[in-house]
Amino acid sequence: MQRAKKIKTTTYKFPVIIEKDEDGLFVADCPDLQGCHTQGRTIEGAITNIRDAIKLHLKILKGERQDIPIIEPVSMTSLEVSI
């Protein structure tokens, strides 16, 4: 019986910013990966799309033997300010 070959995976964490644009679409951006952004009709769709975009971006970096940034995101929130 042949043993299945183990695939080594690495997990990364990246901050993602999601904003709603003037057309009502949710725009997702990963600021630590230049040019890595996408959109979706819902927040869930934008999250799914940015996750796929980040995976593709990292595969390209790996294939080109470039460094993948190691980020330790802390937190991001929205604040309402009145003046």
Sequence-distant (≥ 6) Cβ neighbours of residue 46 within 8 angstroms: 18, 25, 26, 27, 28, 38, 39, 40
Say which CATH architecture domain 12-83 belongs to. 2-Layer Sandwich (3.30)
Listed by start position, the domains of the chain span 12-83
pTM above 0.85, yes or no: no
Rounded CA-CA distance 72/70 in Å is: 7
Give the pLDDT score at 1: 63
Q: Mean pLDDT for each consecutive 10-residue tract of the chain (83 residues)?
A: 76 92 96 95 97 96 91 76 87
Give the pLDDT score at 29: 96
Give the pLDDT score at 62: 93
- Percent of the chain as helix, strand, coil, to the nearest 5: 25, 15, 60
